[in-house]
Structure 1
């Protein structure tokens, strides 16, 4: 971590937190293995008949897929650079009355970390923090040449919410997140405002789409999508072609975003949330950080990202699920979600 991003004298932890791993619960482990290894091009380890792990780099685990009924993203693991920063985060959580629980040694081993603590997060996605990941010298066995992780973490998580200001407040309270920008996207005549939050040099580690204006949250899963970054344009395009050839559902074709300028496509994972495979987004260097101005971009894409339409049966299934979502309250953590002031909804 560069000195610029080190926690400052005010106790900020910005720059010392990085998206480390994702935990998914699914009954479709065979599909996940084929999706991860053969379509996306990840390294896959079959730990047991009930556990898969995907690697992107020398970390033991970046995706943990465990057998279970949820078909959803269950937890996000955040790598914290040092024990001082870790203690600051723990203090913030405990002082606001939110319980923390230590993960068992078995849970830590499955995630490829030495020790972890967890606490409640927005949309019911558990937040897990750790300081020491376990690495391996075992060579990567995967189709793609590599993935970009490092200081920016492994990618980002995007969610929909009826309480976007609360979620902004949550990540500001816990990780000193900074607002990168907004996107206004028009969907069927309704303007959907999306906010993008960074916790390090990656343009955003969390994206939150405001669905306050909708009668129902159209997304069944806790996460709308998760993102990983391919090492080369050729890797990203090859993944796109394999996803199509192997018959996995494509959500959005290749395009380029207006705000972080990332080239990417979106496909549907076996659990139903989307995976964005991207390439070459903006990195907010210390020079850019010092001069950064929050802007609102019109439309999510400069070009491309054409929606790939589902069939009639898929649409009916989505409508049925959306109706169920209308009866399901959104899980939040009010003790940590003091609304962030000074920003539009």
Structure 2
């Protein structure tokens, strides 16, 4: 009897397209995104605003609300065939799907929007065609890297890292790029780096299993965007400091993807990494490895005091009464907890 054909992979046809952030701190976010990071800003109305990195209408949508966190992530898929393939996968696992309204699609600057639950309570959205803005870019940065690799990455902490990895494997055929073993404040962490295209990683998942609490109170630990020019990295770092925004980690270089970057703290509390020149993956030769330590040099904490650390411990303790949300049906039971 002929075995059934394996379902076609969607790897390489999926790209991080936009992020939705819920916040009540519009004034601070406007200054942070426009004056510090250097993105193009657009006010839609009193409850919604957007940032652009390139010719697409929306890369970051900010909506008024109390979460102070990322609430949705949008994935650009190459065509309608891929869109329907992913939709069928999610439906086949019994996970509820909701078609986005015309208004929701317009706010995101996309067509054919589909929404479904994701890890950490972050809604996952797929779409086919991003809309091109009619207005030229007006931003301090000379340019950001988007294109086939997508616009950057998201980083999560999880008490169930295998389920998170399994989720993105099931939905997007994500591949493991490598691991980093790191010890922070005496705590050993293993960070998994997952890719869905040539970008070294689009999702990073740090395991916090065994800790009495998840030290990160937000759903995301950080977001990353990539500048096209080294000067933009240096100048935005200077602007973040001069404008009085908190700098989480100084400029440094990562061990695994070799990206030069720094981490600022956003008005909502999670971190924002601005990076330059990471490696891209050659699928014909790449092999996952384990790196010891997250940085070759730099990435040192900036201006942290004992009071700051105690405050982070206090807000992190909230995770004890806020269990981590998962999507077990898409969690990939067969993925080992390596």
TM-score, structure 2 length as denominator? 0.96
Instruction: String of CA shifts for 1:119-166, please: whole Å, max 9, x gaps.
Output: 000000000000011012421000010000000101000000000000
Q: Does 1:91 align with 2:91?
A: no
Aligned to 1:101: 98
TM superposition shift of 1:171? 0.3
Which residue number corresponds to residue 332 of structure 1?
326
In the alignment, the residues of structure 2 paired with residue 154 and residue 9 of structure 1 have an alpha-carbon distance, to the nearest angstrom, of 30
Alignment of 1:114-153 (within 5 A): 114-153=111-150
Query: Could you list the runs of 4 or more consecutive aligned residues of structure 1 that deviate by over 4 angstroms after TM superposition?
Result: none
Residue 291 of structure 1 aligns to a residue in which SS?
Answer: coil
Moved more, 204-213 or 304-313: 304-313
The whole-number CA distance in structure 2 between the counterparts of 1:310 and 1:103 is 42
**2:256 aligns to what?**
259
Q: Which of 87, 103, 112 pairs up with 2:109?
A: 112
Residue of structure 1 in register with 2:219 after alignment: 222
Paired with 1:185 and 1:51, the residues of 2 have a C-alpha distance of 38
Give, in whole Å, the separation in 1 of the partners of 2:212 and 2:336.
26
Cα 1:28–1:253 change in 2 (3 A) is same
- Secondary structure in 1 matching 2:63: strand
Match in the other structure for 1:322: 316
**CA–CA separation in structure 2 for the residues paired with 1:233 and 1:265:** 12
Alpha-carbon RMSD: 1.3
Asked if 2 retains the 8 angstrom alpha-carbon contact of 1:254 and 1:263, the reply is yes
Specify the alignment match of 2:304 in structure 1.
310
Given that 1:166 and 1:340 are in contact with CA atoms closer than 8 Å, whether structure 2 keeps it comes out as no
Query: When the two structures are aligned, how many residues end up with a matched partner?
Result: 334
User: Unaligned regions of 5+ residues in structure 2, if any?
Assistant: none
Secondary structure of the equivalent of 1:289? coil
